Amino acid sequence: MNFKNARSGNAYNFAGGHGMILSVRSGLVTGLVLVFLMLSSQIQAGSLPDFTELVEKHSAAVVNISTTQKIKHPKISRMPRGMPEQIPEGPFGDLFRHFFGEQGRGFGGSEGMEPREAKSLGSGFIISEDGYVMTNHHVVKDATEILVRLSDRRELVAEVIGSDARSDIALLKVDADSLPVVKIGDSGHLKVGEWVLAIGSPFGFDHSVTAGIVSAKGRSLPRENYVPFIQTDVAINPGNSGGPLFDLDGSVVGINSQIYSRTGGFMGLSFAIPIDMAMQVVAQLKDGGKVARGWLGVLIQDVTRELAESFGMDKPRGALVAKVLKDSPAEKAGLEVGDIITRFNGKPVVRSSNLPPLVGISPVGKKVKVEILRKGNVKTLKVTLGELPDDDIQVAGEPSTTNETRLNITVMDLTAEQRKKLEIKEGGVIVQKIQAGPARKAGVRRGDVILMINNVDVKDAKHFAGISADLPVDKSLPLLVQRRGGPVFLALKIKEK
């Protein structure tokens, strides 16, 4: 009995011990899971960059820039009913002044234009202990007064040493010594996906820090031909312009310049000027106050898949020469319309947008090698670069008139007046009428001047008709036209009937 009781007790104790083991095991599993989660979070945290040291070390060299400009606005004679006699201070007052003027007279009879002051904010960074500051051209453009506010809250009046609109770079100078400076990096070594950090004054909030990654390199933006922008997803907003873009080593690799936005605020697309290019510009601004860029003297376009096929290329690449400007370095070196520039000064030209920055940063008077593809053959020319004119050269075109052809279009010879206006010395026919057919499908428009078909220069309307009659079918052929805005290549394909 006692034995049984003992056994019963033992069994009971054994059951209790089993429960304890299960409990211990369960606790161990839970503990291991917690340890795993903690280690995992630590590993994840360890894999993310820590910007604190970078900010502490380099933010003092980042400055706030405020400018004052004189702008004109309508001068009004009558005060609208209900308007306050005194303009309130603050944001509402700024908005009030914008619409109603400094005296609050925004309605009534106009008495002409009168100047008023407008203020804007931007960012910049110190590149030398004796007070040289870099920022954007658009931050200081037309400024009558520029104030640079340092991290220690000192405000110094700045002088513009030089400013370059094409690169959007400006060099300022303040009267101070022993200033904190940034470390200049190498934007050429940047990699897509690399972490970067911006410090600036968005909306006037000094020394705001935002971080992200490099999204792309060598971006070409509309009307920005000479800057291969660095694209990032770093949050950039109005006021960040001109501020530095740092890499993880604390070196400046770019100058924040533009954002893509439909709202005026950050939408995930920010663009910075590579510091390598910026420093070249600054060196010229410091020496002479202006920038001299290399000039080749060609109008170019991208090579599409259809155009690549028409030129016998295995894939699209290079910059297609649509026009060689008169008396330009390109003309003197022997470049021709229809040439495809594949390398410039030893560097590959993958897209047409790669060429202008390469030419622009090359010294004036330098002799460079230009590798081209001409009618299927690779050639290398030597070009002595000229200086880019102050005003971008534009070629104007104008719609006109005709002669029936196989392409279902009507063309006619150019008049002397048209040639003079279009700067066409000889050859070419102008499209007067176009109907459904190969030409329209290729993108030919009424008013286009057809200069070349299938690498053959068009002399006149009669010659054009003869060329058209002999064109091969089911094959992409290059067609060069000149229209409003300049020359452009199209890919023409005639289907067999």
CA angle 336, 339, 342 (to 5 degrees): 135
DSSP one-letter string for 242-280: T-EEEETTSEEEEEEEEE--SSSS--S-EEEEEHHHHHH
| Residue 402: per-residue pLDDT | 41
Matching residue, tokens 């805005």: 485
Whether 395 contacts 487, CB under 8 Å: yes
Q: Which parts of the chain sit beneath pLDDT 70? A: 1-46, 71-118, 391-406, 417, 485, 497
Residue 338 DSSP class: T
| Residue 38: per-residue pLDDT | 64
Matching residue, tokens 């060429």: 355
| Residue 455: per-residue pLDDT | 86
Whether 320 contacts 307, CB under 8 Å: yes
Whether 489 contacts 320, CB under 8 Å: yes
Tokens standing for residue 68: 């004052």
151 is catalytic: no
| Residue 290: per-residue pLDDT | 84
The 10s digit of each residue's pLDDT in 31-64 is 666 666 665 555 555 578 899 999 999 999 999 9
Question: Residue 385, Cα to own-chain centre: how many angstroms?
Answer: 24
Would strands 183-184 and 251-259 be described as parallel, antiparallel, or unpaired?
Answer: parallel
| Residue 177: per-residue pLDDT | 92
- Of 120, 215, 241, 270, which residue is the catalytic one? 241
Alpha-carbon gap, residue 87 to 321, rounded angstroms: 58
What's the burial of 221, exposed, middle or buried (CB within 10 Å: 0-12/13-18/19+)?
A: middle
Q: Give strand pairing partners of 67.
A: 120, 146
Residue 129 DSSP class: T
Whether 69 contacts 118, CB under 8 Å: yes
Instruction: Provide the 3-class DSSP secondary structure of residue 376.
Output: coil
Q: Give strand pairing partners of 368.
A: 383
- 141's CB contacts (< 8 A; 6+ apart) are 163, 165
- 20's CB contacts (< 8 A; 6+ apart) are none
Instruction: Provide the 3-class DSSP secondary structure of residue 409.
Output: strand
- 280's CB contacts (< 8 A; 6+ apart) are 361
How many residues appear in the chain?
497
Report the chain's C-alpha Rg in angstroms. 33
58 is catalytic: no
Q: How far is CA 307 from CA 87, 312, 431, in A?
A: 62, 9, 21
- Of 59, 123, 137, 168, which residue is the catalytic one? 168
DSSP one-letter string for 451-479: EEETTEE--SHHHHHHHHHTPPSSS-EEE
| Residue 55: per-residue pLDDT | 95
Instruction: Provide the 3-class DSSP secondary structure of residue 287.
Output: helix
What residue ranges define each of the domains in the chain, with the CATH number in brackets?
60-174 (2.40.10.120), 183-288 (2.40.10.10), 294-387 (2.30.42.10), 409-492 (2.30.42.10)
| Residue 428: per-residue pLDDT | 84
241 is catalytic: yes
In terms of Cα–Cα distance, which of 99, 154, 489, 441 is closest to 316?
A: 489
| Residue 213: per-residue pLDDT | 96
- Which pairs with CB-CB distance under 8 Å and at least 24 residues apart come from 262-268? 264/238, 265/237, 265/238, 266/235, 266/236, 266/237, 268/233
| Residue 30: per-residue pLDDT | 65
